[in-house]
């Protein structure tokens, strides 16, 4: 196996052709940079754009790599980075403004798809020993780049790294089965890189390489002894690949062990089927998308016709056909049999973005098509019968799917069938063409037809995905200015919260955009990531900010005692909340900057630690917490009497606005979600409620006196329990906070940055604690006067540091758990790979 200039030229043709086709589609759909739309939709819009803005700050040295206060209350961040951000293409973010993140996103999707075509072309030329015609290689490579998975999953941009690395990993497997030691280098390096770039698809690829090894051993008719040798070489290569990836993979696995979604979903491992296997044919139509019970594997008519034609051709031995049949059966079972689905979903409930591993099946079909084309195109006779039989079989199954499965308007059965027939006509012409001129014209027609089919399919999908990018760009520019203004005015240590972020959907006051702390580099109390710290989520829920799906904190109001306890000094809000003070800082997206005068510092002294919540209501627990911290009985929240009335839309709760310095908060616990429910909060605020992404505790705007109300608008009143309605005594809050601050007057913050902090507490007279709002993590090393100590925890989350009498110098340093061991293992892996190469080189010379 050697690269040559001609092969490289055609690899670059595959890259360039894919780029031109996709740029044309981008231009037609007005995607950035050709317009104001973007592929950054769904989770890309909700999460990834903010993560890329964070990554830009990390690369510029403005935010933390291993630890950041931008994630929830502060968190070790290696698992987040290794999942979302370590693709080499993401380095390009340094050349873009944060407001241009959509442009960056579209460019990287383009580059990853074109790279997938490049690597697929490399695989096809190596695997088929340059026997596959160059034009066919290009078409199959472009089919891989523009397959259904790549288009529908383009918003999940981090998974595309697995797509373009898979062909290179399988080159390594093939070379191992050919007895070539260089296969070890290919497989170990590409597998290691894939686990580094994105551990999730890296693990999927590693799983598939084991299946591919069995396929290659079977197809290459290896003896048992040679098969064992191949298995040992493969195992060594994979072992080296995992070692090479340890620099990120080991800390990631360690970090995830304590996160909210770290457990495998063993209860879903059932002997059941997920849907009708015939729907896999329905999914191989132009425009098809994967659903709960159907996988979409479409990658062009050329692929499916040639893949099926393999079984009707006499170029392949019965054993080879049996192996390919086994592969097809596995291809079906991995989507429709629950145990296989769970294995390839890495034992997690992958209940959105269905079949995140389906690119491996499309690749298998492309390999089958390539196998047939190598034999058929190099056969001067070129019997048309296998192609005809394949066409009849595919169209027959397509017709059966249309007649027996539920109709869907987005599936283009007719156009798919017409495209297939036109291709078969072209293949027939190629089978009878005698001179090179006619063959050239027919091949040109095949290339044009395949290009048009893939382009039309891609255009259909992109039209459904593309989103207007202008709101994000506008919001980003304004938010950057607002946060910068706050930091310029107040460079201290504090947190910032919001009652409204961007992209509020049609449901009132509901959003999933909770990563502004990441995007604009400030200390936050919210986030939305795949695997957050479960203990932090629980703490925030105990203090009134519920979480959703074990990953999203619902922070769309300001619960003043909670915010004060956590050091939230500024609240960005389009409306006033009693107790906050409006500043003269600039508005952003309709939000003013309010100062919280009750905010505690991020570290203060206390004589004892608050108890656990233990099922208390939020309001009762807040009273208990502040009583413990202040060292005396504190009643911040006081029950507010109310009366209930039935109204046409649901139920209304009427109460007298408390006289004096009070704010009003409520909670209506629900036993089950009821879509369409909303709250009318005294005619001044509206809130979607009782369902996905809705809060639990809410603020009620009131006047100083007179009647006020909360109206529950719902079709299922019985789903909601008795309301919890409380008045927050702001004078009592001020007194409690003042007492805590006075007792903490001798606490001096030397510095507090991402991953490190230093406090000096002087003249400690009796045993006490430095209570911080910094969450505990295994990576923290805390010393008091140079001695390593184990912090106590407030509600199993926030660090409380025991203090000695006299002067206490507290040093906190965060180190990524097992980072040094991971680096060492990576060095060992690279060294062993080098030794392996030397050993094999010496053996080859003997």
Which of 544, 577, 599 is at the close of a domain? 599
Residues 430 and 574 occupy one common structural domain: no
pLDDT (mean) for 653-677: 92
Please indicate, yes or no, if residue 832 is contained in any of the structural domains: no
Residues 374 and 269 occupy one common structural domain: yes
Please indicate, yes or no, if residue 762 is contained in any of the structural domains: yes
What is residue 531's predicted lDDT score, i.e. its pLDDT? Answer: 79
Residues 374 and 498 occupy one common structural domain: no
What is residue 796's predicted lDDT score, i.e. its pLDDT? Answer: 92
| Average pLDDT for the chain | 91
What is residue 708's predicted lDDT score, i.e. its pLDDT? Answer: 93
Q: How far is residue 557's CA from residue 573's CA, in Å, rounded to a whole number?
A: 8
Which of 722, 754, 787 is at the close of a domain? 722
Total of domains in the chain: 4
Q: Please, what's the b/e burial string for 812-829 (b: 16 or more CB within 10 A of its CB; e: otherwise)?
A: bebbbbbbeebbebbeeb
What residue spans of 566-711 are helical by DSSP H? 618-630
pLDDT digits (tens, 9 = 90+) for 21-33: 999 999 999 998 9
| Percent of the chain residues past pLDDT 90, beyond the cut | 76
Residues 453 and 433 occupy one common structural domain: yes
Residues 337 and 431 occupy one common structural domain: yes
Regarding predicted confidence, which is higher, 767 or 194?
194
The pairing of strands 780-784 and 724-729 is unpaired
| Percent of the chain residues past pLDDT 70, beyond the cut | 97
Q: Residues 539, 544, 547, 548: what is their CA dihedral angle, to the nearest 10 degrees?
A: 160
Give the pair of three-digit tokens for residue 812: 């906190």
Q: How far is residue 79's CA from residue 550's CA, in Å, rounded to a whole number?
A: 16
Residues 709 and 659 occupy one common structural domain: yes
pLDDT (mean) for 45-61: 95
Q: Which domain holds residue 680?
A: 643-722
Residues 267 and 402 occupy one common structural domain: yes
What is residue 1's predicted lDDT score, i.e. its pLDDT? Answer: 45
Residues 803 and 751 occupy one common structural domain: yes
Please indicate, yes or no, if residue 340 is contained in any of the structural domains: yes
Residues 418 and 502 occupy one common structural domain: no
Please indicate, yes or no, if residue 676 is contained in any of the structural domains: yes
Q: How far is residue 395's CA from residue 23's CA, in Å, rounded to a whole number?
A: 32
pLDDT digits (tens, 9 = 90+) for 605-639: 999 999 999 888 999 999 999 999 998 999 999 99
The CATH number for 784's domain is 2.60.40
pTM: 0.92
Only one residue has tokens 């994105």, namely: 198
Please indicate, yes or no, if residue 313 is contained in any of the structural domains: yes
The rounded Cα 758 to chain-centroid distance in angstroms is: 34
Please indicate, yes or no, if residue 310 is contained in any of the structural domains: yes
The answer to whether 373 and 127 have CB atoms below 8 angstroms apart is no
Residues 403 and 273 occupy one common structural domain: yes
Please indicate, yes or no, if residue 842 is contained in any of the structural domains: no
Residues 286 and 409 occupy one common structural domain: yes
Which of 669, 696, 722 is at the close of a domain? 722
pLDDT at 804 over 50: yes
Residues 808 and 742 occupy one common structural domain: yes
Please indicate, yes or no, if residue 829 is contained in any of the structural domains: no
Closest CA to 557 of 709, 423, 728: 728
pLDDT at 276 over 50: yes
What is residue 506's predicted lDDT score, i.e. its pLDDT? Answer: 55
């Amino acid at each position: 196996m050697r690269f040559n200039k001609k092969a490289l030229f055609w690899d670059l043709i595959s890259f360039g052709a894919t780029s031109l086709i996709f740029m044309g589609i981008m231009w037609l759909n007005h995607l950035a940079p050709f317009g104001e739309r973007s592929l950054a939709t769904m989770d890309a819009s909700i999460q990834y754009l903010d993560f890329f803005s964070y990554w830009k700050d990390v690369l510029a040295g403005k935010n933390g790599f291993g630890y950041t206060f931008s994630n929830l209350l502060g968190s070790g961040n290696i698992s987040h980075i290794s999942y979302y951000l370590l693709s080499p293409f993401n380095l390009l973010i340094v050349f873009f403004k944060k407001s241009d993140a959509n442009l960056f996103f579209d460019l990287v999707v383009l580059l990853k798809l074109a790279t997938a075509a490049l690597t697929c072309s490399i695989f096809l030329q190596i695997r088929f020993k340059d026997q596959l015609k160059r034009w066919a290689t290009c078409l199959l490579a472009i089919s891989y780049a523009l397959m259904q998975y790549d288009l529908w999953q383009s918003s999940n941009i981090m998974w595309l790294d697995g797509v373009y690395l898979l062909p290179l990993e399988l080159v390594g497997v093939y070379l191992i089965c050919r007895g070539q030691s260089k296969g070890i280098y290919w497989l170990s390096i590409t597998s290691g890189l894939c686990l580094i770039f994105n551990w999730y698809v890296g693990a999927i690829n590693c799983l598939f390489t084991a299946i591919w090894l069995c396929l290659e051993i079977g197809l290459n008719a290896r003896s048992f002894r040679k098969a064992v040798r191949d298995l040992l070489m493969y195992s060594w290569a994979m072992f080296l690949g995992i070692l090479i990836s340890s620099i990120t993979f080991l800390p990631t696995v360690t970090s995830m062990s304590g996160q909210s979604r770290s457990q495998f979903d063993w209860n879903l491992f059932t002997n059941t089927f997920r849907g009708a296997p015939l729907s896999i044919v329905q999914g191989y139509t132009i425009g098809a998308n994967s659903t709960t019970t159907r996988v979409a594997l479409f990658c062009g008519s050329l692929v499916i016709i040639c893949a099926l034609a393999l079984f009707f051709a006499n170029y392949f031995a019965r054993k080879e056909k049996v192996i390919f049949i086994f592969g097809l059966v596995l291809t079906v079972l991995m989507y429709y049999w629950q145990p296989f689905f769970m294995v390839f979903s890495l034992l997690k409930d992958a209940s959105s973005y269905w079949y995140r591993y389906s690119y491996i099946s499309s690749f298998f079909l492309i390999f089958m098509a390539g196998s047939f084309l190598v034999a058929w195109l190099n056969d001067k006779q070129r019997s048309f019968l296998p192609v005809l039989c394949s066409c009849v079989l595919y169209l027959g199954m397509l017709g059966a799917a249309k007649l027996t499965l539920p109709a869907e308007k987005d599936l283009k059965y007719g156009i798919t069938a017409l495209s297939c027939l036109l291709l078969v006509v072209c293949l027939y012409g190629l089978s009878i063409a005698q001179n090179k001129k006619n063959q050239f014209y027919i091949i040109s027609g095949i290339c044009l037809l395949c290009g048009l089919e893939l382009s039309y399919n891609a255009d259909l999908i992109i039209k459904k995905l593309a989103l207007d990018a202008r709101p994000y760009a506008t919001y980003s520019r304004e938010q950057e200015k607002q946060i910068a203004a706050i930091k310029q005015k107040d460079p201290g240590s504090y947190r910032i919260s919001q009652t409204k972020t961007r992209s509020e959907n049609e449901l009132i006051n509901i959003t999933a955009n909770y990563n502004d702390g990441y995007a604009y580099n400030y200390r936050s109390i919210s986030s939305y990531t795949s695997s957050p710290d479960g203990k932090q989520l629980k703490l925030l829920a105990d203090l009134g900010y519920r979480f959703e799906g074990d990953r999203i904190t619902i922070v769309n109001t300001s619960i003043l005692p909670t915010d004060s306890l956590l050091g939230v000094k500024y609240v960005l809000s389009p409306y006033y909340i009693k107790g906050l003070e409006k500043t003269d800082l600039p508005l952003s997206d309709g939000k003013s900057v309010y100062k919280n005068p009750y905010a505690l510092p991020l570290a203060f002294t206390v004589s004892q630690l608050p108890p656990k919540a233990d099922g208390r209501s939020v309001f009762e627990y807040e009273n208990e917490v502040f009583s413990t911290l202040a060292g005396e009985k504190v009643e911040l929240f006081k029950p507010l009497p109310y009366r209930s009335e039935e109204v046409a839309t649901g139920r209304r709760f009427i109460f007298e606005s408390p006289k004096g310095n009070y704010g009003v908060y409520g909670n209506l616990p629900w036993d089950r979600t009821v879509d369409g429910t909303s709250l009318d909060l005294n005619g001044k605020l509206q809130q979607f409620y009782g369902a996905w992404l809705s809060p639990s505790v809410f603020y009620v705007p009131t006047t100083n006196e007179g009647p006020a109300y909360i109206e529950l608008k719902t079709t299922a009143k019985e789903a909601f329990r008795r309301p919890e309605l409380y008045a927050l005594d702001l004078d009592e809050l001020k007194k409690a906070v003042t007492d805590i601050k006075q007792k903490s007057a001798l606490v001096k913050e030397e510095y507090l940055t991402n991953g490190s902090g230093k406090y000096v507490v002087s003249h400690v007279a009796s045993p006490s604690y430095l209570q911080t709002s910094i969450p505990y993590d295994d990576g923290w090393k805390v010393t008091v006067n140079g001695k390593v100590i184990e912090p106590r925890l407030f509600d199993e989350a926030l660090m409380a540091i025991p203090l000695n009498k006299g002067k206490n110098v507290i040093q906190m340093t965060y180190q990524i758990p097992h980072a040094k061991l991971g680096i060492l293992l990576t060095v060992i892996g690279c060294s062993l790979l080098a030794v392996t190469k030397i050993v094999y080189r010496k053996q080859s010379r003997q």
